[in-house]
Amino acid sequence: MLMKIGEIDSLGEIVEAVNMITDYVNSNPLALKLVRDQDHSHGLLDMAVLSSEFEFFMPYLTVESIFRARDELAAMFASSSDWNKEEEDIAISNLVNDSRLWETVERVLKCSSPLIHGLIWLSSANNNQHVGHVYDNMDVIKESIAREFDNDELCYMPLWDVIDDVWNKLHSPLHAAGYFLNPAAFYSTGFHLDTEVAIGLISSLVHIVKELDVQVKVATQLDVYKVREGCFNETSQADQVSGLSPAEWWAEKASQHPELQSFAIKVLSQTCEGASRYMLKRRVAEKLLLTRGMSRCEKQHLEELAFVHYNLHLLIYRAAEPN
């Protein structure tokens, strides 16, 4: 998504300037302290603790850190002539005081920051069961981007189109089912049951639960869940939902409806960590998602290649695991 958004509002034009400022900051203890203090005051992430899977985010997070500290850096250079003795000092001071640079940086961050922080939150160690959160989180990211542009459709709709284009390629019925079965989302005022969510729930039920009689029981119990009857009357309250993962909530609160409980736990216990967990190489999937102008036949061939590639890799991985 970031690569496609970058085509709309390129990071490239500012990355060189920001890298110069970053190199200067990293070699100057006072300047480095100013940037880190701003990171902490704004609740920004310490890039040193991010895992390698977030390496692609680093340039954006660096830009964000420098942007937050721009006023403090400008004040530092203005505080004493000692900061403007060397040629490098003067060059960095000019960059820090370049209003056009910061206007461009701010525009890029309005596009990238909601997406980056949303994806990092989704992949955080404390939230490793992702399926119950993916669907809702994508909507939150889109709404955050819209707010960054004061809900001006001319500004945010091209970005929404990029997100939707990628999401349509990655979306699974499990995401919609997870959204429906996540009590924190379902019992919130912002829950929206549309056709996509309903179809995703039904599709997941049919694929996960094979016995027709059990499907009927789950459907009946879903009606109870929807209207907060029985055990769901009390357990749907906010204090009963908070502090538990969606799967934990179902395990603890829904024992009166064992068929629905089992189905919900199976859906909500899924993660989105397959590629990293099984050390799958992403290049085939990335080519499938990002290559334009492929014919239908070429795309089908690449999809089949990806299927064989990843399943073969999984087979090799499983065979190498200790019994």
List pLDDT tens digits, range 116-151: 888 777 766 455 557 888 888 888 899 999 999 999
Task: Identify the band that residue 279 occupies on the pLDDT scale cut at 50, 70 and 90.
Answer: very low
Same domain, 137 and 263: yes
Same domain, 121 and 142: no
Same domain, 132 and 246: yes
Whether the CB-CB separation of 182 and 201 falls below 8 Å is answered with no
Same domain, 116 and 219: no
Cβ neighbors of 236 (< 8 A, separation 6 or more) are 183, 187, 228
103 has a pLDDT exceeding 70: yes
Same domain, 154 and 265: yes
Q: How far apart are CA 121 and CA 272, in angstroms?
A: 13
Total number of domains in the chain: 3
Same domain, 215 and 160: yes
Q: What percent of the chain has pLDDT over 70?
A: 72
What is the per-residue pLDDT across 39-61, written as a single tens digit (0 to 9) for each?
Answer: 665 544 454 445 555 666 777 78
Same domain, 114 and 155: no
- In angstroms, what CA-CA distances link 49 with 44, 125, 318? 12, 12, 30
Where among 109, 125, 141 does a domain terminate? Answer: 125
Same domain, 298 and 205: no
Same domain, 258 and 176: yes
Where among 257, 272, 287 does a domain terminate? Answer: 272
Same domain, 164 and 292: no
> Burial of 182 by CB count in 10 Å (0-12 exposed, 13-18 middle, 19+ buried)?
buried
Q: Structural domain of residue 288, as residue ranges?
A: 279-320
Q: How far apart are CA 145 and CA 76, in angstroms?
A: 32
**Helix (H) or strand (E) segment spanning residue 56:** none
Same domain, 204 and 236: yes
278 has a pLDDT exceeding 50: no
